[in-house]
Structure 1
Amino acid sequence: MTAPQRLTDRKRAAIIQAAITEFRANGFDITSMDKIAATAGVSKRTVYNHFPSKEELFAEILNQLWARVTGGQETAYRPDQPLREQMRVMLATKMKMLGDDNFLDLARVAIAATIHSPERAQNMVAQMGKREEDLTVWIRNAQADGRLKPVDPGFAAQQLQGMLKSFAFWPQISMGLPSLPPEQQSIVVESALDMFLACYQLP
């Protein structure tokens, strides 16, 4: 890797870190690309060279958070493995994400932006929602393999996500409660698996 490339990477990383700082401190609407540039110690032109819009910058932050939490973990359906074991891995990863303070702070930013400007903020919320599509695809594949009942995969995935979020997302977002400790996360995951598999798993 050449020195200019390393400098470009360093600038990009500085922009992302500055954006996280500004979004967390001031919210989406008040944070400007000018302020992000100043905090990052780069020109406004440099910021726009990396990120054409504030929305795309926010989406990239969410992408990086997700990648850091999952570590590139495989979520593809495996016909040779028990359903519960596969799902436990996916849900544990989801709980880890929901317990990340940076993610929770940025989720608050996205939700507040949506309340104040629904149309402009829809892309941010959609970006967060994309991270839940893996479970929908997994359910669809398990159904095709004859292991789950023929319920709408998106509906079933939303049910399952909702069981986790009712304990590990909405109380933290709306009431400022602390993230669940690991043992409590495990209890929520196992309970959600019990309910989901009792309802949808074929004998």
Structure 2
Amino acid sequence: MNAPLKLTDRKRQAIVDAAIAEFRASGFESTSMDKIAATAGVSKRTVYNHFPSKDELFEQILHELWNSTAAVGPAPYDPARPLREQLLELLNKKMELLHDAYFLDLARVAIAEGIHSPQRAQEMVARLSAKEEAVTNWLRAAQADGKFARADPFIVSQMLQGQLKTFAFWPQVTMGQPPLDPEMRDKVVEATVEMFLAYANATA
């Protein structure tokens, strides 16, 4: 059981939540620290005590986004287990993240700001690519174990993760579509794994 958050931590989280809501509604540039304070139910001074600037508050949102992606990294490749079984487990974990409402809110804010600030967009792409490198490394380990030879691990990593995002991320983030139901989630994951196994001539 997690210990209850201290008052200062609750206020800090309320500020972050309020910033996410206001950035989504009005955009980064149009959102004032006054509005964030009002939405969070705290004083403007309290906001500045936690975050000296709006840029630092946005950085905190990005930090939480990166931490969310890191939390669902793949388990180490296990040569004693079937490849198909491990791939299903890996992609199901990724699918869980893509259906987390808080993660999707963070992603919407980050993507919207990235559109208006090319420099921020470049930084986000670089940091996300570094996070997703864990899947590439997992595939390299499977390839070194002789499970598949045809596919390039980096390309396949992007294809595997991109396939999930086609159904369970981009429509929800950009068009407000509802999350996939459990049956559809399973179908997408299973189809993605089967396509990989067939393409890579992998040993399941």
TM-score, normalised relative to structure 2: 0.79
CA contact (8 A) 1:84 1:193 kept: yes
Query: How far did residue 8 of structure 1 move?
Result: 4.5
- Partner Cα separation in structure 2 for residue 112 and residue 165 of structure 1: 17
Q: 1:8/1:108 Cα in 2 relative to 1: closer, same or farther (>3 Å)?
A: closer
- Partner Cα separation in structure 2 for residue 67 and residue 18 of structure 1: 24
Alignment match, 2:60 = 57
Deviations 1:160-185 (A, max 9, x none): 11221222222223333211101100
CA contact (8 A) 1:172 1:179 kept: yes
- Secondary structure class of the residue paired with 1:30: coil
Query: How far did residue 29 of structure 1 move?
Result: 3.3
User: Which deviates more, 73-82 or 123-132?
Assistant: 123-132
Alignment match, 1:105 = 105
1:155 maps to 2:155: yes
Residues matched between the structures, number: 195
Query: How far did residue 79 of structure 1 move?
Result: 1.4
CA contact (8 A) 2:33 2:47 kept: no
Residue 83 of structure 1 aligns with an amino acid whose one-letter code is L
Aligned counterparts, 1:1-203, within 5 A: 6-33=6-33, 35-37=35-37, 39-40=39-40, 41=42, 42-48=46-52, 53-66=56-69, 70=72, 75-149=75-149, 151-203=151-203
Q: 1:60/1:116 Cα in 2 relative to 1: closer, same or farther (>3 Å)?
A: same
User: Which deviates more, 132-141 or 97-106?
Assistant: 97-106
User: Which deviates more, 155-164 or 123-132?
Assistant: 123-132
Deviations 1:97-141 (A, max 9, x none): 222233333323222222221113332343444442221110011
CA contact (8 A) 2:87 2:193 kept: yes
Query: How far did residue 43 of structure 1 move?
Result: 3.7
Query: How far did residue 38 of structure 1 move?
Result: 5.0
Identity among equivalent positions (%) equals: 51
Q: 1:179/1:87 Cα in 2 relative to 1: closer, same or farther (>3 Å)?
A: same
Residue 101 of structure 1 aligns with an amino acid whose one-letter code is A
- Secondary structure class of the residue paired with 1:53: helix
- Partner Cα separation in structure 1 for residue 192 and residue 66 of structure 2: 26
- Partner Cα separation in structure 1 for residue 79 and residue 11 of structure 2: 44
- Partner Cα separation in structure 2 for residue 162 and residue 6 of structure 1: 39
